[in-house]
Amino acid sequence: MIKKLLIANRGEIAVRILRACREMNVAHCVIYSDADRASLHVRMADEAYAIGPAAARESYLRIDKLMDIARRAGCDAVHPGYGFLAENPELPRACAAAGIAFVGPSAEAMKQLGSKTKARQLAYRAGVPTVPGVREAIPQLEAARRIAGEMGYPIVLKAVAGGGGKGMRAVASANELAAAWRDAASEALNAFGDEHLYIEKYLERARHIEIQFFGDAHGNVVCLGERECSVQRRHQKVIEETPSPFMTAELRHEMSEATVRLAREAGYVNAGTAEFLVGADRKFYFLEVNTRLQVEHPVTEAVTGLDLVKLQILVTAGERLPVTQQEMTLRGHAMECRIYAEDPENHFFPSPGRITHWRPPQGPGIRLDEGVYSGWRVPGDYDPLLAKLIAWGADRAETLTRLRRALDEFTITGIRTNITFFQRILAEQDFQKGAIHTRWLDERLDALLAASAQSAEGADDPLTIEAAAIAAGLDHSSKAKSSELQPPAASRWRDDGRREQLSRTPDR
């Protein structure tokens, strides 16, 4: 078993991993940049080590510093979380060289699947259908013009080296190609250090559905159901749920079988996610594999009853998966909202600053994976994810009801958030019916933002907050004064208890 784990991340995912360590009695330590010195994961950890300045390239992205801390702290394993170095094969390679276990797939599997073009080639060998497109990086714009013309518009430009919507542009016509090529290549270079792009055919009104899978070192591969990720803004996931309202038992079986073939072809061990586009005809096409834990993993945990972080640690320690595919069952429905410090009405710009009040929702079926607290200052140096709000119910209708109630209860002041924006999305009839696709949110964005801005107007205004606080204080004061006018009713239970206590008190 792993004795001590270095959590090589920050924020809510670092908190999530250390909680799993606590339950497994695994010692752990965390890292922090100068901007994160007072972060929640630092406050909660067994040990914490400074890793450098606020800039990620000088702290969280420094493999040499991570390895040095792991050695000094006596760690025998490293968990990368997601983001930062989680899909960089140089980290598992460095861990192997240092004799430290990496909680994730091997460097070889990560490299093979981390390249989108190599992953498409692997899918072709495994007999998994892929979105029509090329299997190699396109060397220059002129070649892209020729390929796009032969394929037919609309098409999608994608970064070879990354995902998450970075270096990705939809192109509707030949007139848009040059500008889209320039922007996508520049973004890919900044995000991944690699400007190379490839082309896929753009599928109209498709759904984005992913399959969570696990492989162990004994040759077992198990799929843990799907996640519906079609509610996206500019190719970035906004709401995830499981099971997909579009899914059938037959389609789930086919997609799971395809995922198992992919994992076996790659010799994959640990957690991974195969992503697909699914047309209205329920034909599916492979997109990519995310070689890490996903942001949306809690919805899978909610319907399977499995702890995916614990599974990652167990598989890394060489243990077999505790379930087989035949034993896998899905129970109920789960949905997740990513709560960001951002201002939807101002082009979703990040909203750093101090959180003056943090009151999370509670109640049946509600889970919150948070990385902040009241009084903490959200830095402007990283992704502004504050927390993930997850609701579970016996069916999708109950889940929606609980999630809407939880959003109503969630109070965050001092910064702007996207809570009101989520409330508007959940109120949409198409969403409630599950009639969504990857362009659904973008097509309704202007109307949703206008409605969200109107309902949120003044909600975070300091004068409004102060007035509400004064009103609440006056109300409490008036109630207190009113109660003082009336003596409290006698309590026989209390009086009898006091008499009994006095009778047992020895004389002094």
Which is catalytic among the residues 207, 227, 252, 292?
292
Rounded to whole angstroms, the Cα distance separating 136 from 191 reads 20
Please check whether residue 316 is in contact with residue 103, taking contact to mean a CB–CB distance below 8 angstroms: yes
| Residues sharing a CB contact under 8 Å with residue 57, sequence separation 6 or more, in sequence order | none
Strands 411-413 and 357-359: antiparallel
Q: Which of 325, 203, 193 is nearest to 263 (CA)?
A: 325
Q: CA angle, corner 36, sides to 167 and 78, nearest 5?
A: 70
Burial class (CB in 10 A: 0-12, 13-18, 19+), 309: buried
Please report the DSSP string for 173-228 in residue order. Answer: SGGGHHHHHHHHHHHHHHHHS---EEEEEPPTT-EEEEEEEEE-TTS-EEEEEEEE
Q: Which is nearest to 419 in space by CA: 388, 375, 392?
A: 388
Is 233 in a helix, a strand, or coil?
A: strand
User: ∠ at Cα 416 (7, 9), nearest 5°?
Assistant: 5
Residues sharing a CB contact under 8 Å with residue 378, sequence separation 6 or more, in sequence order: 341, 351, 352, 353, 354, 355, 372, 384, 386, 415
71 is catalytic: no
The answer to whether 7 and 371 have CB atoms below 8 angstroms apart is no
SS3 of residue 370 by DSSP = strand
d(CA 263, CA 274): 9
DSSP 138: B
Q: Number of helices (H) and strands (E), helices first, in the chain?
A: 17, 22
- What is the set of active-site residues? 292
